[in-house]
């Protein structure tokens, strides 16, 4: 019912095609649409900005799959900023969150749809909804819950649901994946890779992910796994600072999460742009 009310409200107030959604044929160049959405926002053309944000969210990946990250970071950030000035944009965001939740419960493409759901909830500050849906998956389909557990993990950590996180943590498999990812970046033969910013970012990410894993294991008393993960990780990267951070993680201390520097609109900027 709440979803239907939101749909009808946006239809009446915004008139975006069939309800809140915009037809695929309305545009065809996602890069151009995104740039135009940002410009329309800056120019105070909020209805136009919302239409283009909606189209970008629905169809950008059909034309350009490489925009996956932009769609769930820059685009949602500016959309949320738009919502501070144009309430219909908030209704539309909430509509797409509810639509994603319904799709997951109906057995849709769980990973990508859950990623949409989690990302929208993050910009809305509604992480409790991410947790609630993950707990629903845990009760109803543990295989699907395992598929999206990494996406739900930050919200679950913030809520201190360590037992539930640990239930879906396969430390051996996750460690192997992290070590492989580091090997891949180290082997890149492109400017900025080895010894450059790309490699530095890879090691920073590796450090945060390993610390997080070890802290989860510590919260669940999985001491043998802590020893194995720590040993293999430091064999891979024998760094004094990393070892010191690992000692904290072994006591159940989580690392400070990296800030999302990709966000193109912060609340202060929203106010200043008016």
196 close to 142: Cβ distance less than 8 angstroms: no
Tens of pLDDT along the chain (274 residues)?
444 444 444 444 444 434 567 888 888 899 999 999 999 999 999 999 999 999 999 999 999 999 999 999 999 999 999 999 999 999 999 999 999 999 999 887 789 999 999 999 999 999 999 999 999 999 999 999 999 999 999 999 999 999 999 999 999 999 999 999 988 877 765 555 555 677 888 899 999 999 999 999 999 999 999 999 999 999 999 999 999 999 999 999 999 876 544 444 444 345 444 4
- Calculate the CA 10 to chain-centre distance: 25
pTM of the model: 0.83
State the virtual CA torsion across 159, 160, 161, 166 in degrees, nearest 10: 130
DSSP string covering 122-146 = HHHT-HHHHHHHHHHHHHH-HHHHH
Cβ–Cβ < 8 Å for 138, 166 = no
First to last CA, the chain: 34
């Amino acid at each position: 019912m709440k979803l239907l009310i939101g749909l009808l409200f946006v239809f009446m107030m915004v008139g975006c095609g069939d309800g809140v959604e915009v037809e695929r044929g309305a545009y065809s160049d996602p890069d151009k649409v995104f740039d135009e959405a940002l410009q329309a926002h800056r120019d105070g053309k909020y209805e136009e900005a919302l239409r283009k944000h909606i189209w970008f969210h629905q169809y950008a990946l059909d034309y350009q799959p490489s925009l996956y990250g932009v769609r769930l970071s820059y685009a949602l950030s500016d959309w949320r900023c738009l919502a501070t000035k144009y309430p219909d944009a908030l209704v539309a965001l909430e509509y797409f969150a509810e639509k994603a939740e319904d799709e997951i419960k109906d057995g849709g493409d769980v990973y990508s749809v859950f990623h949409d759901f989690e990302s929208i909830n993050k910009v809305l500050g509604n992480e409790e909804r991410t947790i609630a849906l993950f707990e629903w998956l845990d009760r109803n389909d543990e295989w699907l819950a395992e598929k999206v557990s990494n996406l739900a993990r930050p919200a679950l950590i913030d809520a201190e649901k360590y037992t539930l996180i640990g239930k879906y943590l396969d430390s051996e498999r996750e460690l192997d994946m992290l070590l492989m990812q580091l090997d891949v970046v180290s082997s890149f033969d492109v400017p900025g890779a080895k010894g450059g910013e790309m490699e530095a970012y890879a090691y920073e990410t590796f450090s945060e992910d390993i610390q997080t894993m070890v802290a989860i294991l510590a919260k669940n008393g999985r001491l043998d796994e802590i020893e194995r993960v720590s040993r293999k990780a430091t064999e891979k990267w024998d760094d004094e600072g990393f070892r010191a951070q690992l000692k904290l993680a072994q006591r159940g201390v989580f690392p400070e999460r990296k800030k999302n520097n990709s966000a193109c609109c912060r609340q202060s900027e929203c106010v200043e742009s008016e």
